[in-house]
């Protein structure tokens, strides 16, 4: 009796995955019929064709089928004892490995996209390794903090804000080019080299050495800050 309730079965084709329950046709003992795909709570998959699973007939009723798909030949092999791996059998390069020592390892051979409707917080008690950026770094309208940016990286975004509690140093660059329509400096600006301006420069107050241009008094028949120098 038991052997009639439990059978090996393979997926006939991938499901449409648009119904109230995940139903897929399965092949077993030369027959094909619909079965409810049974997966652990919180885990879902649309199983492709020819994937193996265990078929159960609930209460011995032939058309009450429950199918438990597996991927024994497509698993990430050589996992150490106690490790749990969440992976895509069609591309087992995509993996989330829960290590026995408490570590989590995420491997993504393609793109990684995360969507957070609320806030996101990260607390790192130990050291945080640097991030190697292979291409452009694209920022959204919110603030973005980057500790180190690789050479050639382009920051793209509607608003890119650089906030620092200490000094900000641009080193090793023979030329720094600002192509914005307006560059506003809202604090003191110290330049130890030469300023070359090819356009107009407007300042409420400009000090060069010990000379303040707006308050400087010239000698001669004209004096004061409103008369031309002699």
Please report where in the chains the tokens 């989590």 appear, as a residue.
104
CA-based angle 156:171:183, to the nearest 5?
Answer: 50
The residues spanned by each domain of the chain are 2-69, 72-109
Burial (0-12, 13-18, 19+ Cβ within 10 Å), 186: exposed
Question: What would the CATH number be for the domain defined by 2-69?
Answer: 2.40.50
pLDDT along the chain (230 residues), means of 10: 82 90 94 95 94 93 92 89 94 91 93 88 76 59 58 58 67 71 76 77 70 60 54
């Amino acid at each position: 009796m038991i052997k009639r309730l439990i059978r090996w079965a393979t997926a006939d084709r991938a499901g449409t995955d648009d119904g109230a329950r995940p139903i897929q046709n399965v092949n077993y003992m030369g027959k094909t019929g619909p079965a409810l795909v049974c997966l652990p709570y919180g885990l879902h998959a649309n199983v492709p064709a020819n994937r193996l699973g265990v078929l159960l007939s609930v209460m011995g009723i032939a058309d009450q089928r429950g199918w438990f798909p597996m991927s024994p030949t497509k698993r990430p092999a050589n996992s150490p004892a106690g490790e749990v791996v969440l992976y895509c059998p069609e591309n087992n390069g995509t993996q989330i490995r829960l290590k026995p020592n408490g570590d989590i390892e995420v491997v993504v051979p393609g793109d990684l996209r995360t969507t957070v409707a609320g806030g996101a917080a990260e607390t790192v008690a130990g050291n945080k390794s640097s991030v190697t950026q292979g291409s452009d770094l694209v920022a959204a309208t919110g603030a973005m903090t980057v500790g180190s940016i690789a050479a050639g990286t382009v920051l793209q975004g509607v608003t890119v804000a650089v906030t620092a509690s200490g000094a900000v140093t641009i080193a090793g660059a023979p030329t720094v080019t600002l192509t914005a329509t307006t560059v506003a400096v809202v604090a003191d600006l110290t330049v130890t080299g030469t300023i070359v301006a090819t356009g107009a420069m407007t300042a409420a107050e400009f000090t060069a050495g010990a000379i303040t241009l707006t308050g400087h008094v010239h000698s001669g028949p004209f004096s004061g800050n409103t008369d031309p120098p002699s």
